[in-house]
């Protein structure tokens, strides 16, 4: 029995995952973590499971970790809604420098598989948005990196997203206003290690 449907995005190796959901008037059951599915993606193991809670308008990103602490992630929203955005930073990828944006909600039962070598961020569309990450490598402050959320080279249409959901300005951490532009970021990732 297929328990997770894998949908391609416009980025190489990055997939939307839709776990099966079985329900009735009482609620539902859904397998959200199956090692068999992770193996198929090349996601070796879950080292950490993290959650973040955000109010409407919080924008987190665009983050990555450098080798040897580079991370792949499977992300989902448990409550609320967010637009999850990733940028392919692997210099040998056919989609290098491109982004994809996927709406994740507590109701649409979608996850996003973010391979190693991607920058990741999201915009919270509702108050009390609970975001969950399954991660395949340890967090390391010494290996943190990022690109600006509004980098003109990538040209993510954040303004359109914010206008659609009535968000005037993003709520940012100080860290997310200080990243080096994409064009000055070292060519640090490849598809094959």
Distance between CA atoms of residues 5 and 167, nearest Å: 32
Half-sphere exposure of 138 (CA within 13 A, CB side): 4
Distance between CA atoms of residues 5 and 100, nearest Å: 18
Q: Rounded to whole angstroms, what are the CA distances from 80 to 30, 53, 178, 188?
A: 18, 10, 28, 34
Q: Tell me which residues are annotated as active site.
A: 63, 133
- Nearest CA-CA partner of 114 in 74, 145, 78, 85: 74
């Amino acid at each position: 029995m297929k328990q997770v449907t894998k949908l391609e995005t416009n980025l190489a190796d990055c997939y939307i995952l839709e776990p099966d959901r079985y329900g009735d008037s009482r609620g539902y059951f859904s397998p959200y973590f199956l090692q068999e599915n992770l193996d198929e993606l090349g996601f070796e193991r879950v080292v950490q499971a993290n959650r973040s809670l955000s109010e409407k308008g919080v924008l987190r990103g665009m983050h990555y970790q450098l080798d040897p602490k580079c991370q792949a992630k499977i992300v989902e929203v448990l409550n609320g809604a967010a637009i999850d955005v990733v940028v392919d930073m692997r210099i040998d990828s056919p989609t290098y420098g491109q982004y994809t944006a996927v709406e994740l909600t507590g109701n649409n039962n979608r996850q996003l598989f973010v391979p190693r070598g991607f920058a990741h961020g999201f915009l919270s569309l509702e108050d009390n948005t609970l975001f969950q990450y399954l991660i395949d490598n340890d967090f390391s402050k010494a290996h943190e990196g990022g690109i600006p959320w509004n980098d003109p080279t990538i040209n993510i249409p954040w303004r359109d997203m914010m206008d659609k959901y009535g968000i005037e300005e993003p709520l940012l951490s100080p860290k997310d206003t200080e990243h080096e532009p994409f064009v000055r970021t070292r060519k640090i990732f490849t598809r094959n290690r």
